[in-house]
Amino acid sequence: MNDAFDWATYLSIFHADRAGVAEDILSRAFAGPSTPYRWLARAVSRRAEVILDVGCGAGAMSRELARGGRTVVGVDLSFAELELAASRSGTPWLCADGRRLPIADESCDAVTSSMGVVVIRPVEKLFAEVARVLKPGGVFAFMAPTIRPLAPRDLHTLGRIAMHLHGVPQFPGPTEVTGYVPALSAVGLRKVEDRRERYRFTVMSAEDARLVIAALYLPMVSAARLQAAIDWMSARVERSGPFTVAIPMRRFVAVK
């Protein structure tokens, strides 16, 4: 995509209009019994008492982390997402930029981010802020959509959706995060894990088809092409029954 594209405006409008849509998809995406949120939460020690969730959206990750004796603070730039988060949980919420966190130095045992690293740019500023607020020995756990692993059937389904869209989902930052390790190292964070997992969302109805398309960043795709993809998915359900859409994710864990 053209580097001059106004991602800030696009994201602001997207999340104002579709607050909670990422949670609607990822909370129903499974690999065995686990969702992406549960997978990311497992990277955080049970001993962590103060956790910052950056790019928290409607708060699914923050709620996954919540437990007695622990403080979880969700941070996001979208008022609409935070209003929805507040309606679902009493967790503290902050409207703030991940590149300028209103959090004291070395005050957090862990920082998480479920999608922030492909949205907050430049990612080096996010990483610098994470390093600043983490205590020595603190953990930064984040995940992002990626392009593998995918099975042949997954590729067929995703390919047909892309064909009808005449495009593929876009992000402000790259999804294959080849530059993350140097960027983490530059701010004093040491990578200790890099894992991938394939999650699957089951499309059971026309409403599910609309939800899948609504959750994608598709700034250059026309309304007609969006509807064409929805129609194809809906027709497939009517013809053959429910089917799955693969959502491959990548999880990084780094320690200060």
pLDDT in tens, 156-206: 999 999 999 999 999 998 766 567 889 999 999 999 999 999 999 999 999
Maximum separation of any 2 CA atoms in the chain, in Å:
57
Task: Specify the DSSP element, H or E, that contains 19.
Answer: none
Q: Which residues of 167-202 are buried (b: 16+ CB within 10 A; e: fewer)?
A: bebbbbbebebeebeebbeebebeeeeeeebbbbbe
Ranges of residues in the chain whose predicted pLDDT is under 50: none
Q: SS3 of 52, please? A: strand
Q: Which residues of 102-128 are buried (b: 16+ CB within 10 A; e: fewer)?
A: ebeeeebbbbbbbbbbbbbbebebbbb
Give bridge partners of residue 127 from the DSSP assignment: none
Per-residue CA distances from 115 to 2, 57, 75, 104 (Å): 22, 9, 12, 23
At residue 178, the pLDDT reads 63
Sequence ranges of the domains in the chain? 7-148+172-200+248-255
pLDDT in tens, 110-122: 999 999 999 999 9
Query: 67: Cβ–Cβ under 8 A, 6 or more apart, which residues?
Result: none
Task: Check: pTM over 0.85? Answer yes or no.
Answer: yes
Check if the beta carbon of residue 138 is closer than 8 Å to that of residue 189.
Answer: no
At residue 1, the pLDDT reads 60
CATH fold of the domain at 7-148+172-200+248-255: Rossmann fold (3.40.50)
At residue 2, the pLDDT reads 54
At residue 4, the pLDDT reads 81
Three-state secondary structure of 198-251: EEEEEECCHHHHHHHHHCCCCCCCCHHHHHHHHHHHHHHHHHHCCEEEEEEEEE
